[in-house]
Amino acid sequence: MNKKTRNIILWLVLLAFLAFFPKLFGIYYTNMMVTFLIFSVYATSLNMLLGYTGLLSFGHAMFFGFGGYGTALALRHIEGISLLPAIGIGAGAAVLLAVILAPLVSRVSGTAFAMLHLAFGQLMYVLALKLYHITGGEDGIANFPIPGIFTESLKDSPDNFYYLAVIILLLCMWLMWFLTKTPFGQVQVGIRDNDLRVGYLGYKIPQSKALIYTVSAFFAGIAGSICALSHNLVSADGTLGIFVAFVPLIYIMVGGVGFFFGPMLGTAIFQLVDELVLRYTESTELVMGIVLVLVIMFLPGGFMGLFNTIKLKFKARFGAKVKEKTA
């Protein structure tokens, strides 16, 4: 069996598993799966900046939040709007914010980039609390209508919402993966490793950073939009708070910075840890902190880095034995 055939079979098995997931595991674990995919997309969108471009952001939650608020406001105030355009408005709100900020942040990097985003992120958080007549303040926006695609409302059909969310979020993951395999992805890695050399090749670094930044914001906005729909609620603390800003960073660090599936693995690990810990205590943040410290100390490349090291050693060891036998 060649590699292409094996990959096709694996994808078909995965799709079949996701298709029957609600019937096999029930509503509780179905909601967990949706949350897992939401934060996988959110963390992967940040990994496009951090892992592939070398830009550390402490304010990525503002795009996540704008996506949620944009969709919620559209569904509440635009009469007769269907669901997909509402999600598009949320993603568009995140992109608009990125376009406004890009000229300011695309010319800096390192600590300046990180701290600028921490400041902008907290500014958006405060604005969401103060503009209560638009955002609902501390209470946020809740119980907004969620029209269905084939039904009147997705509130009455959680399975249909699950399938819609899975399709949209998996499509986002595929698009981000595809971008890493294109010249766009090569430019990202080039900026991370040696931006001067990329500049010598004719690429305009600030404009390239601005484009990467905007694409990353787009996917974070979609994740925020689906999150708002999933909970039928969007609030400042739930989408723009400092904890929401640092969660994807933690997932990336644990899963593996610069590995495409690292954020997804980190999200899965922490969801599993969170589920197990909540059975005994509510101190999930403490446990998350301990796990993060242990990973930074003993697995600086994250779990994907560990798997990659094991894989290379396995190939080196057994590949050498195969060569000896064939010699």
pLDDT tens digits for 233-276?
Answer: 999 999 999 989 999 999 999 999 989 999 999 999 999 988 88
What's the rounded Cα separation, in Å, for the pair 211 and 113?
A: 15
In this prediction, what percent of the chain has a pLDDT beyond 90?
Answer: 60
> How large is the average pLDDT for residues 109-130?
94
Q: Which two tokens stand for residue 111?
A: 């600590």
> How large is the average pLDDT for residues 146-162?
77
pLDDT tens digits for 130-153?
Answer: 999 999 999 999 999 988 776 667
In this prediction, what percent of the chain has a pLDDT beyond 70?
Answer: 95
Helical H runs in 146-298?
Answer: 158-180, 183-200, 205-231, 236-239, 242-255, 262-277, 284-298
> How large is the average pLDDT for residues 267-292?
85
pLDDT tens digits for 80-98?
Answer: 889 999 999 999 999 999 9
DSSP string across 30-65: HHHHHHHHHHHHHHHHHHHHHHHH----S-THHHHH
> Under a CB-based contact definition with an 8 Å cutoff, are residues 135 and 77 in contact?
no
> How large is the average pLDDT for residues 58-70?
96
> Which range is least confidently modeled, 18-27, 78-87, 229-238, 274-283?
274-283
Cross-strand partners of 142:
233
The domain ranges of the chain are 26-326
pLDDT value for 322: 47
pLDDT value for 195: 85
Q: Phi and psi at residue 142, in whole multiples of 5°?
A: -130, 160
How confident is the prediction for the chain on average, in pLDDT? 89
> Under a CB-based contact definition with an 8 Å cutoff, are residues 187 and 209 in contact?
no
Using alpha carbons only, what angle is made at residue 322 by residues 318 and 327, rounded to the nearest 5 degrees? 145
pLDDT of 217 > 60? The answer is: yes
pLDDT value for 317: 76
Is the whole model's pTM more than 0.75, yes or no? yes
Who has greater pLDDT, 220 or 28?
A: 220
The residue length of the chain stands at 327
Domain at 26-326, CATH from 1.10.3470, 1.25.40, 3.30.910, 1.10.260:
1.10.3470
- The number of beta carbons lying within 10 Å of the beta carbon of residue 140 is 22
* Lookup result for tokens 């090291």: 309
